[in-house]
Every structure is written in structure tokens, then in C-alpha cells.
């Protein structure tokens, strides 16, 4: 018997964790002499009060959808891929090579090619830790986090020594040709008569991210491979007895995870910066871990959690701009949300499980104590 209803695990626990994080954040803001309620209103206004704010919120959310899905797929196979940052960096390298060295006639074809290159580079970067885990028993957490630093070094070398335009001091690639520039939401919605901010960086890759959520849902819950991934994640021993190859599942789950992380580059490299820069990922690979944890590794949950963290990023930027609250404190507030929704999950889960078990026991006792109808009286009852 389940200790707690599924809806409580999916909705109630994250909601309570958010409330606790918000309460502690309010105390921190109050401690530095600022008004917490005014800070919340400013965050909401800055992130959701205009199409400009929505544009940035959705831009950040697009990054987090890709990295959150990457972590979620690995989680289903009981693999902790914390190398999304490095895989996204290599995905950016793939996007830059595809956009700079292939003459695309239209952005739609460029998006398909760049997305393929990003997925390929991200998957390739995840393949080595996956192989070391599957064949050599190396811990996936250690190898993936080490590969983040190697990816940063590779990207730095490529930008400084290979891809930097002549005469430029900036460690960045040349700007992509105009033919591969992705349309923003302003350009997509204008023909429909919907006004949207021109300055907002949200672009067509948002549609790609939502499509990735649907594709991952279909993969995990509607395909044989998804069933095998979930079975392996539940019990490696049971999966072996069922004929499921641990090597195959580890490799495939990590390749898919790396490809999803790499796809993030279609948003920030191709869609927003329109060139490859050193700090393009902006920590989104690590935020993806919190997004996957908060979303319970379900694509719909990842979608909602990505929107929330997009709100926190954009709202936090507005808060740092218009108040005396330092940017570092905004990072602390974001960290509190991650802490309560991730590391301190059991602090909320265990009391709730006990509460639901107690109520369930009372209902069972009440049902057993209720008088049962006598079958003999029903037999002797005269017919109408």
C-alpha cells in the first residue's frame, strides 16, 4: 500500500517546500531591512507584468526545460547526470560549427541542422562517462562533474585559438549569418495581431523545448525503451532477470540525456547571443537538477518547474536592479528554493507520509468497526 497518494507527492510536497523556501527568503529580506511583500510584488511585476518580463522568463525557462529533461531521463534509469553544464557547452560548439560553416538558405533548415549538431555533440560528451559507468563501474556523478571542467577547457581553447575572428580580443566566435537568426516571439506573434516585446529574447526554440517535453513523455511512458529504462531504474537485479541489458540502458539513457542538454544551445547560442561565447550556459545545467527534482522527473512537472525558475531568474534580476538587495542575496533566495525542493525533500515528505498513514489507518478502523448486515435476515425477508 502506498504511504501517500500520488497527487500529494506531485503537488502537495513541492507546494509546501516552496512555501517554506518563500518564508525563509522573506525572513532573510526582512533581516537586511527590506520589505518582503514589496520585494515579491516587484519580482512578479518584473517577471510577469509585461511582455518584456514574460519574454525573459520564457527564455530562461526554455534553457531549464532542456536541462531539466536531461536530468529527468537519467533519473528514470537511476543515473545522476550532473554533467548537463558541460554537455550544453559542447552542444553550443556543435551549434556554432553548424551555423558558421554550413551555408543555410533559411533559419528553419538551420534550426534542424543546428539542433542535430547540438544533440550529437551533447550525446557524445555524455557517452564517455556512460561507458565508464557501464563497463568500468566508475561513478557517474564523479565522471560527469569532471567532464564539466574538461568541456569548459575545450570550449575556451576553441574560442581563443580556432573560432575567434582575426583582430578580436573577445573570446567568442564570429556572429552567425543573418539567414540563421531564429525568429523571436515578437516576430512569431506579430502576424497573429498579438503584441510582444521586441527586446525579449524568447524565440522559436521555446516551441522546440515544449516539443521535447512531449517527446520525453512519449518515450518514457509509451515505448518499450522507456519501460526498460524505468524497470532498470526501479530494480537493476529485476531488470537483469527480465533480460534487460544494464550496459544498453545506461548508454542509451545517458546518450538521450546528453542530447537533451546539448539542445539547450539552440536557445541561448543560436537564438539569443547569435554567436558562441564562454559563459553561454549561465549555470543552467546545474539548475536543471533542481528542475528535475521539483518536477518529480515528469515532463509536465519539469515544464512547470522550469517556468518557476525562469520567474525566479527574471524576477531576481529586476529585484537586484530596482532595490538595494544585492545580486548575491538573489542567488541565496534561488538556492533556498533548490534546497527545500531537493535536499530537504524528506523534511516535508516524512511527516506527510505519517499523516496520510494515520488517516488511512483511522478510516480502515472505522470501516472495520461499522456493523455489518446479517445475511440471514436478508434471506428471510419477504418478497414484495
CB 95 within 8 A of CB 270: yes
Nearest Cα to Cα of residue 96 among 159, 23, 20, 2: 159
- What does the domain layout of the chain look like in residue ranges? 63-310
Cell numbers describing residue 124 = 557524445
Class of domain 63-310: mainly alpha
Of 127, 110, 119, residue with least CA distance to 90: 119
Residue 279: strand, helix, or coil: coil
Grid cell digits, residue 46: 518584473
Q: How far is CA 9 from CA 14, 15, 72, 294, 352, in A?
A: 8, 10, 16, 10, 9
φ and ψ of 172, to 5 deg = -150, 160
Asked if 73 contacts 256 with a C-beta cutoff of 8 angstroms, the reply is: yes
Name 41's bridge partners. Answer: none
Contact yes or no for 118/95 (Cβ under 8 A):
yes
Cα–Cα distance between 125 and 73 in angstroms, integer? 16
Grid coordinates of 329? 542575496
User: Rounded to an integer, what distance in angstroms lies between the CA atom of residue 216 and that of residue 117?
Assistant: 19
- Please give the Cα distance from 261 to 239 (Å, whole number): 27
The CA–CA distances, whole Å, from 341 to 213, 283, 294, 310 equal 21, 18, 6, 16
Q: How far is CA 339 from CA 22, 25, 111, 309, 333, in A?
A: 12, 12, 36, 13, 10
pLDDT digits (tens, 9 = 90+) for 211-239: 999 999 999 999 999 999 999 999 999 99
CB atoms inside a 10 Å sphere around CB 108: 13
Return per-residue pLDDT of the chain as tens, 384 residues: 467 787 888 788 888 888 998 899 899 889 888 889 988 899 999 999 999 999 999 999 999 999 999 999 999 999 999 999 999 999 999 999 999 999 999 999 999 999 999 999 999 999 999 999 999 999 999 999 999 999 999 999 999 999 999 888 899 999 999 999 999 999 999 999 999 999 999 999 999 999 999 999 999 999 999 999 999 999 999 999 999 999 999 999 999 999 999 999 999 999 999 999 998 898 999 999 989 988 989 999 999 999 999 999 999 888 888 877 777 777 887 788 888 877 777 788 888 888 888 887 777 777 666 566 665 655 555 554
Q: How many residues does the chain have?
A: 384
Amino acid at each position: 500500500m502506498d504511504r501517500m497518494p500520488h497527487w500529494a507527492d506531485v503537488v502537495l510536497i513541492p507546494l509546501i517546500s516552496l512555501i517554506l523556501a518563500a518564508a525563509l527568503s522573506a525572513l532573510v529580506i526582512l533581516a537586511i531591512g527590506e520589505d518582503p511583500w514589496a520585494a515579491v510584488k516587484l519580482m512578479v511585476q518584473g517577471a510577469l507584468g509585461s511582455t518584456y518580463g514574460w519574454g525573459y522568463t520564457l527564455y530562461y525557462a526554455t534553457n531549464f526545460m532542456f536541462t531539466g529533461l536531461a536530468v529527468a531521463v537519467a533519473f528514470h534509469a537511476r543515473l545522476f547526470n550532473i554533467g548537463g553544464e558541460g554537455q550544453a557547452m559542447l552542444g553550443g560548439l556543435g551549434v556554432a560549427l553548424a551555423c558558421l560553416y554550413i551555408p543555410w538558405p533559411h533559419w528553419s533548415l538551420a534550426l534542424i541542422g543546428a539542433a542535430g549538431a547540438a544533440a550529437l555533440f551533447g550525446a557524445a560528451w555524455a557517452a564517455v562517462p556512460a561507458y565508464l559507468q557501464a563497463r568500468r563501474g566508475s561513478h557517474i556523478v564523479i565522471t560527469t562533474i569532471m567532464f564539466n571542467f574538461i568541456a569548459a577547457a575545450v570550449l575556451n581553447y576553441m574560442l581563443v585559438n580556432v573560432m575567434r575572428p582575426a583582430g578580436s580580443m573577445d573570446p567568442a566566435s564570429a556572429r552567425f549569418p543573418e539567414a540563421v537568426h531564429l525568429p523571436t516571439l515578437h516576430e512569431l506573434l506579430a502576424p497573429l495581431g498579438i503584441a510582444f516585446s521586441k527586446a525579449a529574447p524568447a524565440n522559436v526554440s521555446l516551441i522546440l523545448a515544449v516539443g521535447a517535453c512531449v517527446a520525453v513523455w512519449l518515450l518514457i511512458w509509451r515505448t518499450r525503451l522507456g519501460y526498460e529504462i524505468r524497470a532498470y531504474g526501479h530494480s537493476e537485479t529485476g531488470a537483469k532477470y527480465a533480460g534487460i541489458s544494464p550496459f544498453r540502458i545506461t548508454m542509451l539513457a545517458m546518450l538521450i540525456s546528453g542530447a537533451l542538454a546539448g539542445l539547450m544551445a539552440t536557445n541561448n547560442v543560436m537564438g539569443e547571443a547569435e554567436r558562441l561565447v564562454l559563459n553561454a550556459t549561465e549555470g543552467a545545467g546545474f539548475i536543471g537538477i533542481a528542475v528535475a527534482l521539483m518536477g518529480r522527473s515528469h515532463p509536465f512537472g519539469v515544464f512547470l518547474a522550469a517556468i518557476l525558475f525562469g520567474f525566479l531568474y527574471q524576477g531576481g534580476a529586476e529585484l537586484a536592479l530596482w532595490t538595494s538587495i544585492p545580486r548575491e542575496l538573489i542567488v541565496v533566495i534561488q538556492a533556498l528554493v533548490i534546497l527545500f525542493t531537493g535536499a530537504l525533500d524528506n523534511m516535508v515528505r516524512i511527516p506527510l507520509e505519517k499523516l496520510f498513514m494515520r488517516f488511512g489507518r483511522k478510516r480502515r478502523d472505522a470501516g472495520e468497526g461499522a456493523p455489518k448486515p446479517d445475511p440471514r435476515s436478508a434471506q428471510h425477508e419477504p418478497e414484495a
